[in-house]
Amino acid sequence: MRCINNRFFSLSISTVLLGSILTGCGSTSYEMAYSPDYPVSSYRIAVSEEAVDTAAPFAADLCVVDGDVVADDLDLSRVSSAALFSLSANETILAKNVYEKLAPASLTKIMTALVALKYGSPDEVLTASANVKITESGAQTVGIKEGDQMTLTQALHLLLINSANDAAVMIAEGVGGSIEGFSELMNQEAKEIGATNSNFVNPHGLTADNHYVTAYDMYLIFNAALEYDLINEIISMPSYTTVYKDKNGNDKEISVNTTNLYLQGEKNAPDAITVIGGKTGTTNAAGHCLIILSRDSAGKPYISVILRADDKDILYQDMTDLLSEIKN
């Protein structure tokens, strides 16, 4: 499914039930009654100079998927949602339940990094509050204490490489002033990039009511995050060591390893496919989740995502099978 139509459209906000036939991706048509809760992402509400609200496709070079795109040789029955997108061809290669709202676990941290770099400075120094103490059982932390100080760049490395939930709190409070304030920025950014079927209430993805994404929205969020060189650099790193300061100004050294089993070398991508990096996520509510940036032998980039696999082995087996659908 490839986007070839660059035309924008508008719908009067005063006509709630106005139906419109939209051609936004190849020859596929979409019938849409105006609603801010339309279940297909990528439509944003924009106010014109004439004060008429309109709904417009957020980008002409990204596909809008209106249903499953399947392959006869691929079984994705063990995961709730999955997709594979070609960034160079603007093509949806495979899609399953890409608009189902699901808990994202630590895939949330992609949006956290995106918002942090948009509204913060890599060199700004963050100071940890008492809220960095995470009490949820099994939650990943790196031992940040109240009063510890590090740069946003250091915190982002801990966030994306080791999925540190305490680093997420430190970033959110440092950039957004509070968890609530930062979450508002996350939701604002989601709407701006067209991820209209997502909602964030925290920066880490630990289980919370009304915190959800879709696989398609995760593609949009990850694609936007990859515009930042620092994020590209961090997600490809198998390990990281840094030194920061405690509340008394003493040096504290920390070393972390990636949670991505492809980068660890424990799992192998298909022949001719190179996994550049990505983000893992696991909670009881979300199951096992993974989003990956990869390249084929010609260097063409792809984003693949799986939400809610039953266990880690299924997650990586199905992701490898998904990547096998890339035809070099």
CA 218/CA 111 separation, integer angstroms = 9
Cβ–Cβ under 8 Å, residues 169 and 132? yes
Q: Where are the alpha helices (DSSP H) in 28-178?
A: 108-119, 152-161, 165-176
Tokens describing residue 137: 């059982």
279 labeled binding residue? yes
Catalytic residue (one of 80, 86, 109, 304): 109
Return the closest-CA partner of residue 170 out of 213, 222, 112: 112
Catalytic residue (one of 42, 163, 294, 304): 163
Catalytic residue (one of 86, 106, 183, 304): 106
Instruction: Examine the residue annotation and report whether 109 is marked as an active-site residue of this protein.
Output: yes
Instruction: Examine the residue annotation and report whether 294 is marked as an active-site residue of this protein.
Output: no
Cβ–Cβ under 8 Å, residues 45 and 221? no
Residue whose entry in the numeric block shows the structure tokens 């440092």 = 174
CA 275/CA 269 separation, integer angstroms = 7
Instruction: Examine the residue annotation and report whether 106 is marked as an active-site residue of this protein.
Output: yes
Strand partners, 96: 82
Q: Where are the alpha helices (DSSP H) in 150-260?
A: 152-161, 165-176, 179-192, 215-225, 229-235
- Which residues are identified as catalytic? 106, 109, 163
Residues tagged in the binding site annotation for substrate: 279
